[in-house]
């Protein structure tokens, strides 16, 4: 597979590299998001040493690092004996990095700090006393977001203030992810994306022409597949009290999205639940969503919690509750729960199809942000709701006093004027600049539009989107 996207991240790294000065770069993000591949793409063709940390003792890892560095510089004694401590590493590299630019990339840095709590303090000393005046490009990378922040980014961290740059590697968005599957049509890929989200390692599991049901059996249901226990492993890597976090995520997966509903479901008080939710939000596993037209989002009482990661949604819906069946290799029973049959069928209204419809709504928000030059420049874009109604997509510009309302339909039926009329009624109840605004409307449909709707769209200037294509309404 070619290396897909990450152009901005590579550009930032290469711009720093061309400065020919000491750089201390932090790269972090969730497991499987593509950090290691980003590093490998960056160091390709450059003077660089890459070291992947693990859970062995510090002595064993320093010995291995010594072998890698010794082989790189053709130093047989170092290759044989290794390093004795981190200060020796920095002392050895100082003249090498002074003579020419040199990259030292240490991947999964949190494993080093787990083995020896003094590691970050030693790196602080190494940077301050040995490396900061050289041409070193030091990269510390890690999958434990909590530990990377506590060891390198937070104000109380030993390495705080040393970094010259950082990259939080996010999952790919829908358009970027689709580049993995250039041969698939929009609908088929959205079904895959509903499961994988924008995690490159997950997407790669589905590359090829195999049937999605077969892929789910072999790549997720199979007990030897890494995706089978991926969620539990991720939580155990990041968290100590996994039982309570699992309970909260399960509650959200069951549709308990208000704080009061979560509290009732898991049997915690609000303060405790809030503490756990804050951790999950910091780990980018859960997010708090508020209506897009709220003036003060942070203080809104309308906040709803949702699982951020598509695969987590799928796993908590269809793997976690049915593990006893999967352990007995009863795959067909679970496929029935997912698709309403042994194969995905567009004509069957299944639980999976409902999840895909929600994903299409999020994709619609993403698509809308790319069409600003055709509509207007948005200040914010997202969902909007109150106690009586919900609008799938809303975007607005306060300076221009413009607002757009959108509805998404992921069904086999073409969208007709009834959907448009309902959307207009919903728009009337949105208070944002109600007496002084210009309104626009946009409809997203998996299966196109009725002839009558197309005619009205031309007369009223309604934007129509079939799957991911903005139609010409002139």
| 134, pLDDT greater than 70 | yes
What is this structure's pTM? 0.91
Residue 414 has pLDDT above 90, yes or no: yes
Asked if 333 contacts 322 with a C-beta cutoff of 8 angstroms, the reply is yes
Task: Summarize pLDDT for 28-62 with one digit per residue, the tens.
Answer: 999 899 999 999 999 999 999 999 999 999 999 99
Structural contact between residues 139 and 104, judged by C-beta atoms closer than 8 angstroms: yes
Percent of the chain residues past pLDDT 70, beyond the cut: 99
CB 319 within 8 Å of CB 220: yes
Mean pLDDT of 125-132: 97
In angstroms, what CA-CA distances link 189 with 34, 185, 223, 363?
A: 20, 6, 25, 12
Give the CA distances from residue 378 to residues 292, 324, 381, 385, 442, in Å, rounded to whole numbers and listed in that order. 12, 48, 7, 19, 14
What's CA 343's distance to the chain center, in Å? 28
On whether the CB atoms of residues 90 and 131 are closer than 8 A, the answer is yes
358: pLDDT confidence band, cut at 50, 70 and 90? very high
- Tell me if residue 145 falls in helix, strand or coil: helix
How high is the pLDDT of residue 5? 76
- Confidence band for 240, pLDDT divided at 50, 70 and 90: confident
The string of DSSP codes covering 2-65 is ---S-HHHHHHHHHHHTT-S-EEEEEE-STTSSHHHHHHHHHTTSSEEEEE--SS-HHHHHHHH
Rg (CA), the chain: 25
Taking Cα atoms as reference points, which of 218, 221, 212, 216 lies closest to residue 327?
A: 221
Give the pLDDT mean for 327-347. Answer: 94
Q: Which residue has the higher pLDDT, 236 or 287?
A: 287
Match 């358009």 to its residue by tokens.
175
Q: Which residues contact 283 (CB under 8 A, 6 or more apart)?
A: 30, 145, 146, 238
Beta-carbon contacts of residue 107 (< 8 Å; ≥ 6 apart) = 35, 36, 39, 50, 51, 52, 53, 141, 142
Residue 166 pLDDT level (bands cut at 50, 70, 90): very high
């Amino acid at each position: 597979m070619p290396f897909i996207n990450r152009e901005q991240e590579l550009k930032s790294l290469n711009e720093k590299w061309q400065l020919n000065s000491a750089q201390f770069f932090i790269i972090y993000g969730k497991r499987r998001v593509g950090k290691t591949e980003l590093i490998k793409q960056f160091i390709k063709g450059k003077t660089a040493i890459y070291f992947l940390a693990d859970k062995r003792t510090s002595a064993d890892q320093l010995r291995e690092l010594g072998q890698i560095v010794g082989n790189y510089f053709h130093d047989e004694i170092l290759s044989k004996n290794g390093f004795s401590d981190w200060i020796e590493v920095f002392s050895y590299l100082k003249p090498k990095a002074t003579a020419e630019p040199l990259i030292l990339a240490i991947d999964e840095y949190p494993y080093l700090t787990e083995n020896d709590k003094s590691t970050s303090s030693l790196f602080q000393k190494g940077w301050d006393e040995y490396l900061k005046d050289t041409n070193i490009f030091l990269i510390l990378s890690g999958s434990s977001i909590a530990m990377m922040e506590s060891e390198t980014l937070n104000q109380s961290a030993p390495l705080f203030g040393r970094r010259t740059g950082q990259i939080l590697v996010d999952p790919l968005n829908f358009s970027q992810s689709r580049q993995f599957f250039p041969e698939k049509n929009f609908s088929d890929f959205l079904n895959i994306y509903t499961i994988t989200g924008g995690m490159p390692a997950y997407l790669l599991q589905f590359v090829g022409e195999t049937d999605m049901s077969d892929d789910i059996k072999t790549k997720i249901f199979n007990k030897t597949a890494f995706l089978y226990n991926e969620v539990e492993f991720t939580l155990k890597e990041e968290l100590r009290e996994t039982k309570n976090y699992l309970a909260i995520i399960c509650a959200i997966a069951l549709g308990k999205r208000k704080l009061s509903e979560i509290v009732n479901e898991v049997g915690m008080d609000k303060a405790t639940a809030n503490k756990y939710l804050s951790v999950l939000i910091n780990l980018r596993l859960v997010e708090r969503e508020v209506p897009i037209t709220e003036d003060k989002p942070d203080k809104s009482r309308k906040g709803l919690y949702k699982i951020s990661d598509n695969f987590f949604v799928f796993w908590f819906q269809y793997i976690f509750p049915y593990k006893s069946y999967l352990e007995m290799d009863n795959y067909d029973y679970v496929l029935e729960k997912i698709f309403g049959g042994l194969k995905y069928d567009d004509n069957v209204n299944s639980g999976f199809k409902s999840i895909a419809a929600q994903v299409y709504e999020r994709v619609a928000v993403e698509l809308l942000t790319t069409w600003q030059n055709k509509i207007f420049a948005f200040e914010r874009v997202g969902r909007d709701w109150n106690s009586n109604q919900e609008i799938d997509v809303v975007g607005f510009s306060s300076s221009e006093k413009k607002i757009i309302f959108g509805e998404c339909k992921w069904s086999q039926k073409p969208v007709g004027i009834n959907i448009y009329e309902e959307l207009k009624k919903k728009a009337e109840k949105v208070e944002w600049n109600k007496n002084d605004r210009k309104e626009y409307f946009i409809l997203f449909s998996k299966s196109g539009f009725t002839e009558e709707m197309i005619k009205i769209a031309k007369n009223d200037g309604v934007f129509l989107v079939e799957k991911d294509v903005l139609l010409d309404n002139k």
